[in-house]
Chain A
């Protein structure tokens, strides 16, 4: 039986926005095993990004339990969570979020600065990661000198450079053209199949979801049973 990487029980997230009480997640129970590539799908406001943020410990749940890699995230301090995130999580954003003053290789090196590796070792790791995403010839380019697809591949290299157990991707193809999106999804799929990385990807693009090994849908903060899609779910038109 595959090792459980993510397990939530009755997970809830509520917050107050202006004077409104918003239920972002309602009693979500989900289990994700090592080596799975799960697409979290749902319309805007369904709570899929909120769930991803809770898995990455970027936010705290209002109720329920969340175990990620066997760690109860609700009990960890902010500092401990930061160290945990650096060691176990790789995060890919929709808008790449590279540091503009750093070159590609320096951006990839950033998470390694929090480790005990020496400068030379850090650069070797960063170069390996960039070679893996096919940007070995763009190491010293600044983000503004790269295309959107290349920027996202640098972001993926940054996410995998610490060899994390879990890669979380929030709409990784949302800002890309079709060709670049295909490249990025292929890369994520390769990381899952060849390197056994567990990936959770938030997307509303069914085409992107095809690259995942499993899709789960959320609607109004609730996780639908496996295989079920929202009643009014319509496939968004492809760009």
Chain B
């Protein structure tokens, strides 16, 4: 088949306008498919890091928006297999002008004594850790956030609450490095508690607990034990691995998996029809040449291979261009403000595997869409083909 490559390539590109339009439509479709495959992989198939594999999130069984009592913390700490526990409170709020997407970044109230035990991948100098523990109004921020908003140690950050009726005046006392490169701010939950009115029920509740297990093997057992512990209380809990929690967080958006697969299917099916129609027209126009090739001794199998090859060339070129566009889009998504709520998207990219998979899909589209016209051409008799005047 390799000796037919020059014929295949020249035939593929003989009608330049049609070839460019077909390649363009495949490229756009493959760009969408590439991004979808990359998202699916990042969200549903990404392996947790060593530190993530040890962590669980415990929240109210009813909803993430429902709080759980802070006193659960000590009970969780006593459960065998639990290495450390930290209260984890989503603050929300507004920093400066909320219309500027740069000012949107996650802010959590945490316990400074436990933050770096539970998140072992965070790197912060000891003096800054100490400052965070000692200064009630202190906050620590990720390097990515510091770089983005040009924060330095000692800077003041004012957060105006929306869920919580308070305004927090924070001072940056630490800038930590972490591998996933997210924009994030942690402040002392105790400062929030004190800032709330004395009669506020929010003082003694928390959004969730972040638990660190002794080993990854302990994670399922700890999750079950924690939920069993609070089964008889008005605040039943749901504990799950951090990865499972992230996915359940995504579930707020609906059945994302199904959604991605549905778009994937629709795009693939549409391009299959478009490509099939184009290849059919192209083969029909050249059916006389099929007769010539057969007269020269080309077998039906060779004709089949040549026509499938032509379609494969167009699809692969379209697929490769689509992958390049997809890489650009993935980079844009990874750097968009939305990715801060979905850290998995920070790693979004066209990896060699995703690229190969996308090109594989392109090739499959090319072969499938051209199979029927190629088969018909290969089975057309010489005389019938030679009679065809186009």
How many residues does chain A have at the interface if contact means C-beta atoms less than 8 Å apart?
25
User: Contact at A86–B382, with CB atoms within 8 Å?
Assistant: no
- Partner-binding segment picked from A107-115, A193-201, A210-218, A230-238: A107-115
Contacts of B292 in A (CB 8 A): 93, 97, 99
For residue B302, give the distance in angstroms from its CB to the closest CB of chain A: 8
Verify if B34 is at the interface (C-beta below 8 Å from A). no
Which applies to chain A's interface (DSSP): helix, strand, loop or mixed?
helix
- Partner-binding segment picked from B99-107, B154-162, B241-249, B293-301: B293-301
For residue B378, give the distance in angstroms from its CB to the closest CB of chain A: 10
User: Contact at B299–A83, with CB atoms within 8 Å?
Assistant: yes
For residue A83, give the distance in angstroms from its CB to the closest CB of chain B: 6
For residue A176, give the distance in angstroms from its CB to the closest CB of chain B: 19
Residues of B in contact with A, size category: 20 to 34
The interface of chain B, by Cβ under 8 A from chain A, is 3-4, 6-7, 10-11, 14, 288-289, 292-302, 381-383, 386
A99 to B296, CA, bound (A): 12
Known: A58-B383, A78-B300, A113-B3. A100 touches B295 (CB 8 A): no
Verify if A14 is at the interface (C-beta below 8 Å from B). no
For residue B1, give the distance in angstroms from its CB to the closest CB of chain A: 10
User: Contact at B298–A114, with CB atoms within 8 Å?
Assistant: yes
A100 to B383, CA, bound (A): 20
Contacts of B295 in A (CB 8 A): 56, 58, 85, 91, 93, 97
A113 to B295, CA, bound (A): 14
A86 to B293, CA, bound (A): 10
User: Contact at A158–B297, with CB atoms within 8 Å?
Assistant: no
The interface of chain A, by Cβ under 8 A from chain B, is 53, 56, 58-59, 78-79, 82-83, 85-87, 91, 93, 97, 99-102, 106, 110-111, 113-114, 119, 158
A85 to B130, CA, bound (A): 89
Name which residue of chain A comes closest to B302, CB basis. Answer: A114
Name which residue of chain A comes closest to B297, CB basis. Answer: A86
Contacts of A91 in B (CB 8 A): 295-296
Known: A58-B295, A86-B296, A87-B297. A100 touches B4 (CB 8 A): no
A78 to B299, CA, bound (A): 8
A97 to B301, CA, bound (A): 21
Contacts of A102 in B (CB 8 A): 7, 10
Contacts of B302 in A (CB 8 A): 114
Q: B382 touches which one: A58, A83, A111 (CB < 8 A)?
A: A58
Known: A58-B382, A114-B297, A114-B298. A101 touches B3 (CB 8 A): no
Given A101-B11, A106-B6, A114-B298, 11 more A-B residue pairs with CB atoms under 8 Å apart are A58-B295, A79-B299, A82-B299, A85-B297, A91-B296, A93-B386, A97-B289, A99-B7, A102-B10, A111-B297, A114-B297
A80 to B294, CA, bound (A): 12
